[in-house]
């Protein structure tokens, strides 16, 4: 919009929903006029332009940064733009891989690790919901679990997450995956994508007890993708060794590296 104004244009075709669609915006001397009639001053557009780490909602001509504070876990979440789908910053740390990739490609690599899908898929850690949304394209049904209600609030403001709330093939559960998995039926899923936070933040999700539950809810010949982290890093190598050992002790007959998605695939 700023470039279009500098070129002397009176309108511009831009995206107002993080590249999901295009809208025609009217440009005048004092404001941009949005399709719903809202007017945004040029100085506010400068604020957006100067903050490359934030996404904003426009409400009654004012900017509101898309972020939330979790009273439960005493940390901030905020939406951060990328070249494709946004990622979420958790106390300033991106939850997706963004170096040499983007959140959408990162999601596709994890799904590819257990393709073909079909049947029912469990997504143990929802986050922004990209795994659940993309898996629902080919799986019969997806169950996804999110620990923190504050993250669900971020999803409601993210255009890339909206299918979480209106796709009948997706069931959302809010709570601790270690507790909720106990209520899931034996052999009720053909695929599991387990994409936990780093080990230091969520050690229970790397435990033998949790892996035994994942084994229990998988059908025979089912597959699990477990995200771990960069296998070339020292911490990634150390965590991977422990993960592989505990998965095997939990009953998985074969566990093999899947470095394209920074994880391993385990077979029941």
178 plus 101 within the same structural domain: yes
Residue 106, domain CATH: 3.40.50.150
CA 137 to chain centre: 16
Q: Tell me the pTM.
A: 0.92
> Do the domain assignments include residue 62?
no
47 plus 152 within the same structural domain: no
Q: What angle do CA 24, 26, 31 make, to 5 degrees?
A: 135
176 plus 252 within the same structural domain: yes
141 plus 250 within the same structural domain: yes
250 plus 121 within the same structural domain: yes
Least confident residue range of 33-42, 168-177, 199-208, 216-225: 199-208
124 plus 228 within the same structural domain: yes
Its domain, for residue 106, covers 95-267
pLDDT, tens only, 223-239: 999 999 887 888 778 89
């Amino acid at each position: 919009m700023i470039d279009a104004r500098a070129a002397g244009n009176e309108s511009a075709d831009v995206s107002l929903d993080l590249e999901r669609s295009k809208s025609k915006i009217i440009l005048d001397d004092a404001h941009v006029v949005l399709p719903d009639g809202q007017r945004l001053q040029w100085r506010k557009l400068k604020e957006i332009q100067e903050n490359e780490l934030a996404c904003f909602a426009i409400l009654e001509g004012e900017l509101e940064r898309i972020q939330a504070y979790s009273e439960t876990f005493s940390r901030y979440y905020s939406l951060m733009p990328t070249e494709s789908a946004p990622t979420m910053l958790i106390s300033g740390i991106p939850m997706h891989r963004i170096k040499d990739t983007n959140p959408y490609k990162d999601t596709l690599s994890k799904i590819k690790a257990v393709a073909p899908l079909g049947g029912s898929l469990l997504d143990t850690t929802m986050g922004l919901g990209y795994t659940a949304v993309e898996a629902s394209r080919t799986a019969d049904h997806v169950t996804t679990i999110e620990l923190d209600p504050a993250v669900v609030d971020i999803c409601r403001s993210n255009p890339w997450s909206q299918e979480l709330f209106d796709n009948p093939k997706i069931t959302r559960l809010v709570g601790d995956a270690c507790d909720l998995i106990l209520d899931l039926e034996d052999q009720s899923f053909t695929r599991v994508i387990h994409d936990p936070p780093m080990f230091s933040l969520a050690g229970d999700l790397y435990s033998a007890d949790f892996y035994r539950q994942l084994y229990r809810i998988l059908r025979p010949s089912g597959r699990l993708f477990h995200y771990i982290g960069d296998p070339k890093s020292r911490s990634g190598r150390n965590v991977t060794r422990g993960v592989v050992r505990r998965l095997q002790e939990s009953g998985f007959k074969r566990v093999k590296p899947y470095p394209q998605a920074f994880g391993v695939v385990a077979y029941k």
